[in-house]
Structure 1
Amino acid sequence: MVAVDLLARQEQSENKLREKLARKGYAEEEIQQAIHRLEEMHYLNDEDACARQFAFLYEESRSSVRQICVKLMQRGFDSSLVKACIPADTFEREKAAALRVLSLKFKPAADRQKMMANLYRKGFDSSAIRAAVETFCQEEENND
C-alpha cells in the first residue's frame, strides 16, 4: 500500500521506489514483492515513465538535453532508457531553449562570452550555443 501511495503522489522509477521503501524500513523481500505486483498491474513501467517524463521536460522546459538526461538519471532511470528517448535531431529545440535562457537572463547588448559561458554551464551543445547567441544579438541589431 505504501508503494501505491508513493506512485499516486508522483510517478517513480523502480530504483527510486526501491530506495524510498528501503528508507521506510521495508525488507528487501517485501520490496521485491511489491515491485513485482506493481509491474504485473502495469502501475510501474520504467520505460514508459522515462519516455513520458523526457517528453514533458523536452517540450516544456528550457533545460538542455544534457540537463534533462541528468535529471532523469537522478530520478533513478537507467542511462540507456534515458538515451533512447533523445530524438535524432535536437539542434532546433536546443537553440530555442538556449534563446529562452538568454532572454530571461541577458540583454542583447551583453558580453557574448558571458552568454556563451552561461549556456555552456547549463549543458547546451556548442553549435546550439553559437547559433542562439548569434540570433539573440542579431535581434538587438534589428531593433536599432
Structure 2
Amino acid sequence: MTDRDDTRRARRTKPVPSALGKAVDLLSRREQSRRELKTKLARGGYAREEVEAAVETVVDKGYQDDARFAAVLARTRAGAGYGPRRIAAELKSHGVADAAIAEALAETDADWPAIARRQLERHYGRGGTSDPKERAKRAAFLLRRGFDAATVGALTRAEFGDPGDTFD
C-alpha cells in the first residue's frame, strides 16, 4: 500500500459523531419518538449511559417531544386514510403514552367516517354491493385500516342501501 492509498482512505472515513450529535442529526430529518431514538442510537453502537444522556439532553432542549411526534404521526396517517385504532396502535408501538395518543387523535380533528368512506370508494369504487361476501370483504378492509366497528358497520349498511346509521 502506498501513502497515496492511505491518504484517500483517511479522506473517506468520517469521524464518528457523539450520541448527542447523532440524536440531533436523526431529529433534524424527522420527528422521532423517545423509544425510537434510543433504539437507533443503541443500534449505532453507543453505550447505554451515553444514549440515555443524549436523549435526556434533546428532550430537555425541546428537540424531541413524544406529544409532538404523536401529533405529526397522527395527522400524517389520518391524511393517508388510516383510522384511529391503527394510528393509536402505531403510536403505542413507538412507546408514546396513552394520554399523548388520545390528545394527538383529538387534535387531528379528523372526520373518521368521511375518511373511511373515501378509502372504501378509492379501493372499491362508488358502487355498492348486495353480495354479503363482498360486504364482509369491504368491512374487513376498513377494519384493517383501523376504523372502529360502528363506523364500518354504518358504512357497509349505507352502501347496501340500509337506511339506518348512514353518514351522509
Matches within 5 A, 1:12-91: 12-58=32-78, 60-87=79-106
Misfit runs of 4+, over 6 Å: none
The equivalent position to 1:2 in structure 2, one of 19, 22, 28, is 22
**Offset of residue 137 of structure 1:** 4.5
Q: Which residue of 1 aligns with 2:115?
A: 97
Long gaps (5+) in structure 1 = 139-144
* 1:130 match: 153
Deviation at 1:100, TM superposition (A): 1.4
Greater percentage in helix: 1
Larger Rg: 2
Native 8 Å contact 1:98 1:124 kept in 2: yes
TM-score normalised by the chain length of structure 2: 0.69
Which of 1 and 2 has higher RCO (CA within 8 Å, sep 6+)?
1
CA RMSD of aligned residues (A): 2.3
Kept in 1: contact 2:84–2:147 (CA 8 A): yes
CA contact (8 A) 1:96 1:132 kept: no
Amino acid at match of 2:40: K
1:61, 1:97 within 8 Å by CA — same for their partners in 2?
no
Work out the number of aligned pairs and report it: 135
Q: What is the alpha-carbon distance in structure 1 between the residues aligned to residue 59 and residue 148 of structure 2? A: 37
1:37-74 Cα offsets, whole Å, 9 max, x none, are: 2122210111222223223333x121010011112223
Q: Which runs of 5+ in 2 are unaligned?
A: 1-20, 162-168
CA distance in 2, matches of 1:30, 1:126: 45
The percent of aligned pairs where both chains have the same amino acid is 30
Q: Quote the Cα distance in structure 1 between the aligned partners of 2:157 and 2:112.
A: 14
- Does the Cα contact within 8 Å between 1:99 and 1:133 map onto a contact in 2? no
Q: TM-score, normalised by structure 1?
A: 0.79
